[in-house]
Structure 1
Amino acid sequence: RFAVSVGYWKDPYIQYFVRQAKERKAPEINRGKLACYYARVHGVSYLIKAFLKKTECNCQIVNLGAGMDTLFWRLKDENLLPRKYFEVDFPMIVARKIHNIKSKPPLSKPIMESHSGDSLLIDSHSLDSSRYSIVGADLRFSSDLEEKLKKHNLFFFLNLPTLLVAECVLVYMTPQQSANLLQWAASTFPVAMFINYEQVNMTDRFGQIMIENLQRRQCNLAGVEVCRSLDSQRERLLLNGWETARAIDMMKVYSFLPQADVKRIEGLEFLDEKELFEQLMQHYCICWASKDSSNL
């Protein structure tokens, strides 16, 4: 939310989910992280919109580990809603998000406006409308995920191209658990694309420092061994049922972004330590994979 408040990108809905952070980090860390978030938001958004345009929005999106993400509302504002948009996260997170949706008209109204049908199904751990569903499930267990999604008619849209998005999600699973999830997705959806954003190059000194800092905050990256390199990220996708896979680090993504806007955001926070910023960007990546890409 802080990044939005100082102008890195626009998101009129995040204020309804996340309180403003009071703490300011050191400028190089602050700017480095915010610029990395900026590249992440724009990089992932570019791939999502390319998928939506290619399919003419006749598709479904499954946002895995969505947290307080506001993508559904932003896509609706741009008239880019897919036929159905699903979100999945732990039941506790989903309950909090549903509470916010129910209590904030700017969130609930767009869901009602896009809903057609007799009744909108909603309880403390799930919400199901004709265009938006949010489901509480543990992504580490594909059978649990499939069971919950079946209740929300995911498989009614099985013939549609399906985009699955995971941002900083797979790295918190063991390699076997993330492999199971990727295999499940590849075997379930005939025409599909998978977008993954997470750490990379984690075996060098900078990567080790990142891991140590996270461990000090009781944050365990159970799947970090897959984050060795861009090659290891691609390999995981190809070994688990995906036909094509690409991966680029965030410094490369940053270089592809419109330079006028990059200059604008670089003027928001002064930064001396460009080397530190570049190191941070080289330790995150976007990967994307497809299945039956001839139809995408």
Structure 2
Amino acid sequence: MSDCTDAAIQATCNDASVCKKYAVDKGYWMDRFISYMVPGRIQRKQPEISRGYYARTNSIWLLLKRFLTRCSCTCQIVSLGAGLDTTYWRLGSENMLPIRYIEVDFLDVVVRKIRCISAKVPLHSCLSDFSTQDDESCLHCGSYHLVSADMRNLGELEEKLKQSGIDYSVPTLFLTECVLIYMSPEKSNAIIQWVAEKFSDAAFINYEQIHMNDTFGQVMISNLKARQCLLAGAEACTSLKAMEDRFINVGWHNAQCQDMWSTYNGLPDKRKIEQIEMLDEAELLQQLMEHYCLCVAIKESSDFGLESLLRF
């Protein structure tokens, strides 16, 4: 993958953070930390975009809290391609931190996030043993770890997780949001299989594009290609069943995939947030959400009840 493509992929971090900040400012959900990651006023976004991010953020949030509750927080969360995400701080504000929370991303993104954390007291005051960083490629503070790695290189990823103190003996949840699709299926499947082989009790939450082989999907691919974002893994994102099978085929005990339109309609605050902004084209929202999905896979050897994550 070329450097220009990597830079374009990293630019999607900005897009996502800005859209989340706008949605939070409008009241779609509460996140008092995102303004420290993304300061200033945000240009208006279409209601379809904000509702999409509401569905994405809140469905994952509910699953994370369910996982933490099942494990009594004696567990780990690994966020691959975390960007400027603020989930660690949100969980901390609710006294729901796991024993280890690891974020991984490209070096440039990690450097930017470390500088932001260092500059904002409300962010670094939540981290134990925080000190000014000489090495901006990583941050290790108590339960929080932020490291840089090219996730297409499984050996490098594994080494960075080891440096973060990863414990293969405790329940661990891996989270990817629009990450795997930027890798070839061979590379992403290697990560999925590695997790299944290394952990006896694990969950994997993957938010990603779906139905990439229909007309709408092809337009999405073309639009991203114009921005030098090549969806190298699009061929693995053809159907809900294909998304489930990629986990089952490499050792996960169970997997369930659901498009975001179905997920959105099942969220408890849906009617409330629909009062925030009027929506002109409901059909466009449905079509857009039907081209994103949430896939949850579990592998359980103990009795934590991780099967409950499959009901979303």
Which position in structure 2 is the counterpart of 1:266? 274
In the superposition, the TM-score normalised over structure 2's length comes to 0.87
Offset of residue 278 of structure 1? 0.4
**1:158-193 Cα distance to aligned partner (Å, 9 max, x none):** 211001100110001000000111111111112110
Q: Identify which of 218, 241, 258 aligns with 2:251.
A: 241
Amino acid of the structure 1 residue aligned with 2:150 = D
Residue 201 of structure 2 is aligned to residue 191 of structure 1: yes
In the superposition, the TM-score normalised over structure 1's length comes to 0.92
**1:190-234 Cα distance to aligned partner (Å, 9 max, x none):** 211000001011111111111111112221111011110101100
Residue 168 of structure 2 is aligned to residue 158 of structure 1: yes
**Contact residue 192 and residue 291 of structure 1 kept, 8 A:** yes
Identity over aligned pairs, percent: 47
**Contact residue 39 and residue 254 of structure 1 kept, 8 A:** yes
In structure 1, distance between residues paired with 2:251 and 2:135: 35
For 2:127, what is the secondary structure of its paired residue? helix
Which position in structure 2 is the counterpart of 1:226? 236
In structure 1, distance between residues paired with 2:276 and 2:57: 17
In structure 2, distance between residues paired with 1:21 and 1:290: 40
Q: Identify which of 148, 156, 166 aligns with 1:136.
A: 148
In structure 2, distance between residues paired with 1:20 and 1:279: 31
In structure 2, distance between residues paired with 1:142 and 1:206: 32
- Aligned length in residues: 284
Which position in structure 2 is the counterpart of 1:65? 81
In structure 2, distance between residues paired with 1:105 and 1:80: 21
**Contact residue 120 and residue 128 of structure 1 kept, 8 A:** no
Q: How does 1:194-213 map to 2 (within 5 A)?
A: 194-213=204-223
In structure 1, distance between residues paired with 2:203 and 2:132: 29
Offset of residue 263 of structure 1? 2.1
Q: 5+ residue gaps in structure 2?
A: 1-20, 305-312
**1:99-151 Cα distance to aligned partner (Å, 9 max, x none):** 11111110000012xx59xx898721101122111111111111001111212
**1:81-104 Cα distance to aligned partner (Å, 9 max, x none):** 001111111111111101111111
Q: How does 1:27-176 map to 2 (within 5 A)?
A: 30-112=46-128, 123-154=135-166, 157-176=167-186
Structure 1 outlier segments of 4+, above 2 Å: 19-25, 119-123, 293-296
Residue 272 of structure 2 is aligned to residue 252 of structure 1: no
Amino acid of the structure 1 residue aligned with 2:105 = D
Amino acid of the structure 2 residue aligned with 1:232 = A
Which position in structure 1 is the counterpart of 2:12? none
**Contact residue 122 and residue 128 of structure 1 kept, 8 A:** no
Amino acid of the structure 2 residue aligned with 1:161 = P
What RMSD in Å do the two structures reach over aligned CA positions?
A: 1.7
**Contact residue 126 and residue 133 of structure 1 kept, 8 A:** yes
Which position in structure 1 is the counterpart of 2:17? none
**Contact residue 56 and residue 260 of structure 2 kept, 8 A:** yes
In structure 2, distance between residues paired with 1:221 and 1:19: 30
**Contact residue 171 and residue 222 of structure 1 kept, 8 A:** yes
Q: 5+ residue gaps in structure 1?
A: none
**Contact residue 191 and residue 291 of structure 1 kept, 8 A:** yes
**1:13-53 Cα distance to aligned partner (Å, 9 max, x none):** 1111124464435xxxx111211110011111111111100
For 1:111, what is the secondary structure of its paired residue? coil
In structure 2, distance between residues paired with 1:249 and 1:46: 16
Q: Identify which of 289, 293, 296 aligns with 1:285.
A: 293
In structure 1, distance between residues paired with 2:40 and 2:56: 20
**Contact residue 191 and residue 295 of structure 1 kept, 8 A:** no
Residue 29 of structure 2 is aligned to residue 9 of structure 1: yes
**Contact residue 230 and residue 249 of structure 1 kept, 8 A:** yes
Label 1:21 to 1:284 Cα distance change in 2 as closer, same or farther (>3 A). farther
In structure 2, distance between residues paired with 1:288 and 1:264: 26
